[in-house]
């Protein structure tokens, strides 16, 4: 996720436009929905992983570990905000969650 708000909003809007354009083509919508799922699977566990890494970090690296937590939380929150617009446009039955 890009840290620049304008770039992030433009990208999120473009993804929503693509998903909206694919509504008439379920065969193309399913892979796009899978891509969104994979993004979620990559970004959403980030805060927890960063917190575990920070807990294991030596005190000299604590500041960097805390910055990593803040960045991971920001990415997850930005993605959750984008999902509000994307979820209604995703393929419902075509996306399969795998633990």
Residues 40-86 have pLDDT tens digits of 999 999 999 999 999 998 888 888 999 999 999 999 999 999 999 99
What is the reported pLDDT for 73? 96
Residue 99 lies in a domain: no
Residue 56 lies in a domain: yes
Name the residue with tokens 């929905």: 33
Residue 78 lies in a domain: yes
> In whole angstroms, what is the distance from residue 12 CA to residue 83 CA?
9
What is the reported pLDDT for 94? 47
Range of the domain at 62: 5-89
Q: How many domains does the chain have?
A: 1
What is the reported pLDDT for 52? 93
Q: What is the pTM of this model?
A: 0.82
Per-residue tokens: 9: 């909003």
Which long-range contacts (C-beta less than 8 Å, at least 24 apart) are formed by 66-73? 72/46, 72/47, 73/46, 73/47
Residue 27 lies in a domain: yes
Helices vs strands, H then E, count in the chain: 4, 0
Residue 96 lies in a domain: no
DSSP 96: -
């Amino acid at each position: 996720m890009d840290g620049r708000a304008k770039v992030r909003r433009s990208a999120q809007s473009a993804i929503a436009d693509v998903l909206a354009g694919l509504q008439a083509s379920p065969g193309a919508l399913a892979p796009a929905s899978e891509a969104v799922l994979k993004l979620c699977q990559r970004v959403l566990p980030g805060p927890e992983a960063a917190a575990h890494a920070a807990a294991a970090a030596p005190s000299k690296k604590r500041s960097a570990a805390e910055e990593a937590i803040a960045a991971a939380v920001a990415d997850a929150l930005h993605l959750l905000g984008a999902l509000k617009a994307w979820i209604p446009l995703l393929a419902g039955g075509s996306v399969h969650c795998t633990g």
